[in-house]
Structure 1
């Protein structure tokens, strides 16, 4: 049974593709005529944890090893505090300062607080960062899937066996799965997927910490130092500096989720006020991730010392306990499948909102078809041709880029470095100053600008480190030849 639903109402960036026609007297709508939001502090916290605790958590032991106990721990805590503070500032800017109207995306918040030019700059940085993250997640998920096959191969055939594994089939498989998941209409329908992904992030982080802790307790922990890796044979002062720059960037960017904060906040119920609930969700999400980051970074460093691996799970080898390492990699894959959608939805919504305004009478853009898959009305699939074509094309291009650019993680680090400072620090601070009319050279203005400049310097250092790493990767570039 197929029927279509007219969709001529103006769409918000995260609500495009809903296919809901508002009937006269319908009470199931929000203050702007859109469907009532159902998000709570717990669903928002799940979205935050899914976005923040990425597979990058497993590289924190390496980051702490480059900085040492003192600088490593201070850096973890410092960026936790900065991210929590600026996220709270951004939450207060969700509604327009003059009209109190909801803003459905980060770039709209910037437009209504800082003007059109800043809106364009924000959009360019935000979507480049989101698209880069999606391609990077495709690569990272394929690495974990290949690691599972490699681990099983060693277990069955012995540690001396040849177990080279290609990543390409796994990238293609992930792309096929994301083709289906990308048809989830919008952020409001991602709660269950985000909760599952958040649980998985706890799972693989806990496995990594547990294995590292067991290594420390057994007395196999390696040598650590207050200043981290030491200059000597095989490590020059310049190499040490580049590593420290990358470590700063790694830790700073591990906390960022501002590029999707507004979209998450727009899923919350209107009562109590969204900014109050979002601030509490920020505290829950950042506090939770900081605890896991401290455990992964510090316990991992204690276990592996100055030779800490880039991926905590691979530091235990592909051998025993192979089943536990496999479980950790499976959890990474499931988490990244959900995180892919969390980062993709703002991109999907932006294009669909633009198309709805450009061609409001087009049936391809506005009409939806409901396909009942069984007799129950609850089990229906909604098809919109724009959503089907555009999102499928996006997933295919992202998968192809991941296969063509095996060194894309270095490009992603560069995009992350470029996006961290403006999205997480600069725009929230400038909007807060503008909204609250904070005067120049006042104590509060100076404090905010100090945070601004500190994070800018870190971002510049991380950009330099990522460019240096990118230069090394290009020298060994072989398209479609990614193997472990």
Structure 2
């Protein structure tokens, strides 16, 4: 990947560990000091990474295969996995380099500020990351409400409760959990999340295989859906779905939770994370598409019901839906962290105790307000998935596919004759094209679906 030269101003790990890895710890704002405290191990980092990436959004992968077919789907799923692993590794290399120099970056915005200039951090990367992460909170709140509704319908198929009621219930749960003060305090929750995502993905895979071999198996057609311009946009939409399913957008904040010295720890966390990613993404995508073909829906769980009746023994659904519900709670908390950083920075006092009354009261008020707003939007906009597809194209792709390549090339200046320079440049250029086309495809889909939009719809 290239070697990083040691700077003459480099400080020893012992010096850095004394101040938590920051050159100026006394100048840390409350957001960095309280939310992004550096006390975790590489294992904790792996738990955070896994929760941020392996979420119920992966249940849409069989649908993406309907737009790409077998060969295109497997190729894109593999390529996106390789590129994101490489991109996250590059980010970790840059972050470790700055930590070795005694200037540890705790936020994406800080990286952009130092590498690209103050304007990039303040006016582009910071707002972009905050917007995409808060959008993810809204989307996950909606998904949590849908998971509650699925559980309800399994027990009461003709029940009259509406989706927005379940969204509100999930929002109340999130509001309570959101009061945990720091990112590091989520480590045990995210360990549970890791086991839960493996559990529901295993059950989903087994369920798809069971249905595929049952006498109620649907007719399987593997021809790519759509014709002409619809097929072309479908291909780009599928690529965007797959690419952003690997999306993260908070690698610096996750690496910020690692106790110094940080060297090599992020790489170990990535290995743990991607062992789970490979086993879950590929098993769900391949089994779901095999079982349902081009009838695979936006979430493969929807294929497990036909005419309001489950195609699986209820025991499967009793495992899958609660696991999905609990895990999406952990994912929501992870993506709340950038918002929590902003809240603490604005309203907390770094000179007072983290759990003192001066800081607990504003934390309770403004974090609760943040969750209430997200819950209200999720309940109002049950079609938020379409909007989130646009956010992903213009948010996740720049943060996860483009900026890591630019940061590395700008910081380390590899030779323009080297493979790493041209490889990074090629990934960045192709990703820019995908972001633009993905945004256009998302806007087109929003327009097509606009006639079905209805506030507080029971979808």
Normalising by structure 2, report the TM-score: 0.87
Q: Deviations over 1:439-460 (max 9, x none)?
A: 4465432221111112222222
Shift of 1:368: 5.5
Equivalence for 2:196: 200
1:157 aligned residue: none
Offset of 1:173 from its aligned partner? Answer: 1.4
The superposition leaves residues 390-445 of structure 1 with CA deviations (integer Å, 9 ceiling, x where unpaired) of: 11110111111112222211111111110122201221111111221224465432
User: Out of 112, 123, 144, which is 2:114 matched to?
Assistant: 112
Aligned to 1:304: 292
Q: Is 1:408 paired with 2:374?
A: no
Distance 1:63 1:360 in 2: 46
1:217, 1:278 → 2: CA distance?
A: 42
User: What is the Cα-based RMSD across aligned positions, in Å?
Assistant: 2.4
Matched, 1:445 2:421: yes
CA distance in 1, matches of 2:423, 2:355: 54
Q: Which of 158, 174, 180 is matched with 2:176 structurally?
A: 180
Q: 2:229 aligns with which of 217, 238, 243?
A: 238
Check the 8 A contact 1:221/1:302 in 2, yes or no. no
Please list, as runs of the form range in 1=range in 2, the aligned pairs for 1:94-105 lying within 5 A after superposition. 94-95=95-96, 97=98, 99-105=101-107
2:244 paired residue number: 253
> After alignment, is 313-322 or 429-438 more displaced?
313-322
Deviations 1:178-232 (A, max 9, x none): 222111111111101111122211121111101112233447474344xx425xx
Query: 2:146, 2:167 within 8 Å by CA — same for their partners in 1?
Result: no
Counterpart position of 2:126: 123
1:367 Cα deviation from its structure 2 partner: 5.5
Q: 1:10: how far off? A: 4.5
1:87 aligned onto 2:85: no
Determine helix, strand or coil for the equivalent of 1:93: helix
Change (3 A) 1:368 1:80: closer
Q: Report the Cα distance in structure 1 between the residues aligned to 2:282 and 2:67, rounded to whole angstroms.
A: 15
Larger Rg: 1
Superposition deviation, residue 276 in structure 1? 0.9
Cα drift, residue 16 of structure 1: 4.2
Q: Aligned ranges for residues 418-437 of structure 1 at < 5 Å?
A: 418-437=394-413
Long gaps (5+) in structure 1: 1-7, 19-33, 155-161, 372-381
Name the SS for the 2:264 alignment partner: helix
Taking the aligned partners of 1:436 and 1:301, their CA distance within structure 2 comes to 42
Distance 1:153 1:288, change over 3 A: same
Cα distance, 1:103 vs. partner? 1.2
TM-score where L is the length of structure 1? 0.82
Contact 2:244–2:396 (Cα < 8 Å) also in 1: yes
Aligned to 2:166: 170
Whether the 8 Å contact between 2:94 and 2:407 is mirrored in structure 1 is: yes
